[in-house]
Chain A
């Protein structure tokens, strides 16, 4: 595609063809970065949510803190970390994980709070212990809400990973940065488009997982008395 008099084509498919290996490598790196961030984020959020659910008064401060982290522009957050932890994977992960906390903690707490009190009362009345109640009743029923939170987190994290290119990682962001540096549109486009595709794929995957984890939400028919 040639635009306005210049000889440079906007998108070069041949470059894509000759760099498939590198592209796949970066996709993998992107997935790994995203996966670790969400994984660690989930663990920390689960702990924080557990704390908030047990001791209600901590929910305010926890939300305030994670919202505060979320409010810091991503470039600034990574920039704060670099002098402390350098241009490393750790820096990237600390930043990425920080952004997952707000949504995940809120999702978990909202999900579990959202369980119908009648169900909880009946379950406790039948003889569920605190532990089994959480594992067998509250968590499964909160899953749909929690999973929606994970979906949003996954999509935003995929986008954020691209910025980590500035501190040496980046996954697909690597192409965006390099393409920018050498005025090479094809690379920028590949980086951006694949990032979006990856986010969409993850989202779709999580929707499928959601349906597998909560089969009872599909059946809604009503039969006679």
Chain B
């Protein structure tokens, strides 16, 4: 056991640099995750905020919650490949569908539901009393959304962003299965050649990436959560610590 861990440590020493090294692949990993997260945020959050503001769409949210749990992430990643290949066949400026495009599409698809759910729930959970008071003061729906609901919903939305970010970072390793070279590559290649050291080291890297993301976004989340909002209110709105299952 100790020997094995020693081997892992020395592996780390040997594999930092170069095109197949830790640094390069980490960068790929976070670039991919960031791109997917931002895309999904842009696509999911505005409609979610608007629907939540209107008080509609709760049925959709429930459906998304159930779908999100039942649909295997592995399946989505795998399915993304043939789809992006076909798209690449048709679209001229895409050279091929494998690699980045496939895993990117899959991650965006995976990130949409949790971002939508948390944003919607966050806005919805802003007490109707407050909205009513604001309306009485003469604010337009748009102003209410911007100045009242969004700020009050920030804690829940931030939780959603954190949870989604962690999930994306945790699922990105599966990109190795569709020819993307991020941190998952170590694990998948390691499996293929039965290199336990590489597998273990890869696992450490992936886990570290996920925990790091959780920590960073968690700190931001805590910063943005105003003191006046009690912990129980966040819990009451139904969003719990559902971090990545990948």
Point out the residues of chain A lying under 8 angstroms from B202, CB to CB: 76, 79
Indicate which residue in A71, A83, A196 contacts B70 across the interface (CB closer than 8 Å): A196
Indicate which residue in B79, B203, B214 contacts A76 across the interface (CB closer than 8 Å): B203
Name the residue in B72, B169, B187 with the highest tally of chain A Cβ atoms < 10 Å from its Cβ. B72
Separation of A107 and B243 alpha carbons in the complex (Å): 17
Separation of A5 and B188 alpha carbons in the complex (Å): 33
The verdict on A180 contacting B245 (CB below 8 Å), with A6-B89, A76-B187 known, is no
Q: Quick one: closest A residue to B214, CB to CB?
A: A71
The verdict on A4 contacting B86 (CB below 8 Å), with A82-B191, A155-B69 known, is yes
B210–A180 touching, CB < 8 Å = no
Q: What is the minimal beta-carbon distance from B245 to any residue of chain A, in angstroms?
A: 6
B82–A185 touching, CB < 8 Å = yes
The verdict on A79 contacting B69 (CB below 8 Å), with A4-B86, A71-B243, A188-B75 known, is no
A77–B69 touching, CB < 8 Å = no
A142-153: contact bitstring with B at CB < 8 Å (1 yes, 0 no)?
000000000010
Of residues 134 through 180 on chain A, the ones whose CB sits less than 8 Å from some CB of chain B are: 152, 155-156, 158-160, 162-163, 165-167, 173, 176-177, 179-180
Point out the residues of chain B lying under 8 angstroms from A75, CB to CB: 170, 173-174, 184, 187, 203, 206, 246
Separation of A3 and B245 alpha carbons in the complex (Å): 33
A196–B78 touching, CB < 8 Å = no
Q: Quick one: closest B residue to A192, CB to CB?
A: B75
Point out the residues of chain B lying under 8 angstroms from A167, CB to CB: 191
Whether, in the assembled complex, A191 has its beta carbon less than 8 Å from a beta carbon of chain B, the answer is yes
Whether, in the assembled complex, A70 has its beta carbon less than 8 Å from a beta carbon of chain B, the answer is yes
Name the residue in B74, B87, B170 with the highest tally of chain A Cβ atoms < 10 Å from its Cβ. B74
B10-37: contact bitstring with A at CB < 8 Å (1 yes, 0 no)?
0000000000000000000000000000
Q: How many residues of B contact A (CB 8 A)?
A: 49
A177–B210 touching, CB < 8 Å = no
Whether, in the assembled complex, B81 has its beta carbon less than 8 Å from a beta carbon of chain A, the answer is yes
The verdict on A199 contacting B203 (CB below 8 Å), with A67-B241, A82-B191, A185-B82 known, is no
Q: Quick one: closest A residue to B241, CB to CB?
A: A67
Point out the residues of chain A lying under 8 angstroms from B152, CB to CB: none
Whether, in the assembled complex, B9 has its beta carbon less than 8 Å from a beta carbon of chain A, the answer is no
Point out the residues of chain B lying under 8 angstroms from A199, CB to CB: 69-70
Whether, in the assembled complex, B166 has its beta carbon less than 8 Å from a beta carbon of chain A, the answer is yes
Separation of A177 and B81 alpha carbons in the complex (Å): 12
Instruction: Report, as a range, how many residues of chain A touch the other chain.
Output: 35 or more
Whether, in the assembled complex, B73 has its beta carbon less than 8 Å from a beta carbon of chain A, the answer is yes
B173–A3 touching, CB < 8 Å = no
A5–B89 touching, CB < 8 Å = yes
A76–B86 touching, CB < 8 Å = no
B90–A159 touching, CB < 8 Å = no
A79–B70 touching, CB < 8 Å = no
Whether, in the assembled complex, A94 has its beta carbon less than 8 Å from a beta carbon of chain B, the answer is no
The verdict on A173 contacting B173 (CB below 8 Å), with A99-B245, A188-B82 known, is no
Whether, in the assembled complex, B207 has its beta carbon less than 8 Å from a beta carbon of chain A, the answer is yes
Whether, in the assembled complex, A45 has its beta carbon less than 8 Å from a beta carbon of chain B, the answer is no
Indicate which residue in A5, A67, A156 contacts B245 across the interface (CB closer than 8 Å): A156
Separation of A72 and B209 alpha carbons in the complex (Å): 10
Whether, in the assembled complex, A73 has its beta carbon less than 8 Å from a beta carbon of chain B, the answer is yes
B86–A3 touching, CB < 8 Å = yes
Whether, in the assembled complex, B157 has its beta carbon less than 8 Å from a beta carbon of chain A, the answer is no
Q: What is the minimal beta-carbon distance from B75 to any residue of chain A, in angstroms?
A: 3
Indicate which residue in A6, A67, A73, A173 contacts B206 across the interface (CB closer than 8 Å): A73
Q: What is the minimal beta-carbon distance from B82 to any residue of chain A, in angstroms?
A: 4
Name the residue in A80, A177, A191 with the highest tally of chain B Cβ atoms < 10 Å from its Cβ. A80
Indicate which residue in B79, B184, B191, B245 contacts A159 across the interface (CB closer than 8 Å): B245
Q: What is the minimal beta-carbon distance from B15 to any residue of chain A, in angstroms?
A: 16
Give me 7 A-to-B residue pairs in the complex whose CB atoms sit less than 8 angstroms apart, sorted by A's number: A4-B87, A10-B82, A73-B169, A76-B170, A83-B196, A173-B74, A176-B72
3 cross-chain pairs, A with B, having the tightest CB-CB distances, nearest first: A192-B75, A73-B170, A79-B203
Interface, chain B (partner A; CB < 8 A): 4, 66, 69-76, 78-79, 81-82, 85-87, 89-90, 166, 169-171, 173-174, 177-178, 184, 187-188, 190-191, 196-197, 199-200, 202-204, 206-207, 210-211, 214, 241, 243-246
